[in-house]
Homo-oligomer: A and B are copies of this chain.
Amino acid sequence: MLTFNLDSTPVSDGPRAGTVHTLHGTIQTPIFMPVGTLGTVKSLSPEDLEENGARIILGNTYHLYLRPGGDIIDLFSGLHDFMQWPHPILTDSGGFQVFSLAKLSKISETGYNFQSHIDGSRHMLTPEASIEMQIRLNSDIMMCLDQCIAYPSDHDQAKSALELTTRWAARCKTTWMNRTDGQNSLFGIVQGGMYKDLRDLSVQQLIDLDFPGYAVGGLSVGEPKPLMMEMAAHTLPQLPADKPRYVMGVGTPEDLVELVTLGADMFDCVMPTRNARNGQLFTRFGTINISNAEHRTAIEPIEEGCTCYTCRKYSRAYLRHLYTCREILAYRLNSIHNVHYYLSLVNQMRLSIVKGEFASFRRDFYRTRKKQ
């Protein structure tokens, strides 16, 4: 059974540090979860993740359902053994990928009827099927199937989607309770688009269903940043203070700092790994693009003082050379640095919260970035 303890002085709507206990170990929050779409965080080994502070990763149910498929996962009794990751795994429901990737997706009360983006084969993703697949993955934290909507959506669309999301959440919870002993946890997902009254409604309906944790979905879908922050600031304080709060699919380093300020505990985003593969590297002074000519003769590391493997060993000049030659090693070295950056950031936030010094951390974070 998932439990959550606060390690900082409880506050209703400010930054907090906590510890989440799951089937495969504990996670100290705030935490960032690297995205392991297809049973691998792209370019990284499990050791690379561990060494850089990752303690929980995200797996994509839609992708793993299509490839390798549940029958292969069953041979390994779940995703952990298949990919040799011994620590916790959170899986999404597959809803967002059906919405964004699949072809000819049709939604009904039953679920999503969709065509695989790989071979066009037809599949049905119901709340029950999503939970069943997440159980097969032996996910530590499963997510309810939700209806994702585009930005912008009108109030009627957003209301209808959140209400379906609530009915699906109830079905997910029933499947979870009937099919597991509760060791694998299940989070509800708040929807409601960019409408505060709908966010309120969604929060209330999900709290009534009583989940071990809650996520804020439907953010970072194309809306302006101030609107995203407004919705997060409106929603996060309404979520139960004694349960983990997960903001899905977000975001930049600044987003993480702002959302932790608002009381969020968990994050996932492809940004550190995807940007690494595009040559964009995060530093405390801001981002750099390793392909820029200025790095051609730079013998210094990506970031002075960074303790990641890449910065301990390699120069910007070498990394630029690898990247411009499209050498495979470039993707791994860049990803190691970016994942280390994200995990260090959340760890520093946690330490500053525990010490009661988060405000000063936040001030320094922005000051250092402005220096560049």
A 8-48 to B, binary, CB cutoff 8 A, 1 in contact else 0 = 00000000000000000000000000000011101111000
Residue of B nearest to A273 (CB): B328
- 0/1 string, A277-305, CB within 8 A of B gives 1: 00000000000000000001101000000
In the complex the two chains form, is A38's CB within 8 Å of B321's CB?
yes
A43 to B313 Cα, complex, angstroms = 16
In the complex, the answer to whether B299 meets A38 with C-beta atoms within 8 Å is no
A329 to chain B, nearest CB (A): 5
CA distance A370 to B76 in the complex (A): 32
Q: How far is the CA of A333 from the CA of B45 in the complex (A)?
A: 9
From A67-75, A196-204, A358-366, the one touching the partner chain is A67-75
A50-104 residues at the B interface, CB under 8 angstroms: 67-68, 71-72, 75-76, 82-84
Interface size range on A against B: 20 to 34
**Contact yes or no, B75 A327, CB < 8 A:** no
> B38 contacts A327, CB within 8 Å?
yes
* Selected contact of A321 from candidates B72, B328, B331, CB within 8 Å: B72
Complex Cα distance, B45 from A67, in Å, reads 28
B327 near A40: Cβ-Cβ < 8 Å: yes
Q: Are B76 and A299 in contact (CB under 8 A)?
A: yes
When distances are taken between beta carbons in the complex, the residues of chain B under 8 Å from A39 are 318, 321-322
User: In the complex the two chains form, is A67's CB within 8 Å of B317's CB?
Assistant: no
CA of A43 to CA of B322 in the docked complex: distance in angstroms?
Answer: 11
Closest B residue to A67 by beta carbon equals B325
Q: Are B38 and A318 interface neighbours, CB within 8 A?
A: no
Chain A stretch 319-372: residues in CB contact (< 8 A) with chain B: 321-322, 324-325, 327-329, 331-333
A315 at the interface (CB under 8 A from B): yes
For the complex, what is the distance from the CA of A43 to the CA of B333, rounded to whole Å? 10
The complex places the Cα of A126 from the Cα of B327 at a distance, in Å, of 28
A117 vs B40: C-alpha distance when bound (angstroms): 35
Chain B residue at minimal CB-CB distance from A84: B313
- Considering the chains assembled together, what is the distance between the CA atoms of A332 and B315 in angstroms? 21
| A314 sits at the interface (CB 8 A) | yes
B328 and A328 form a contact (CB under 8 A)? yes
Tell me the A residues contacting B by CB distance below 8 Å: 38-40, 42-45, 67-68, 71-72, 75-76, 82-84, 296-297, 299, 313-315, 317-318, 321-322, 324-325, 327-329, 331-333
Q: A67-B321, A75-B299, A84-B318 are in contact. List 11 more A-B contacts (CB 8 A).
A: A38-B321, A38-B325, A38-B327, A39-B321, A40-B322, A42-B328, A43-B328, A43-B329, A82-B317, A82-B318, A328-B328
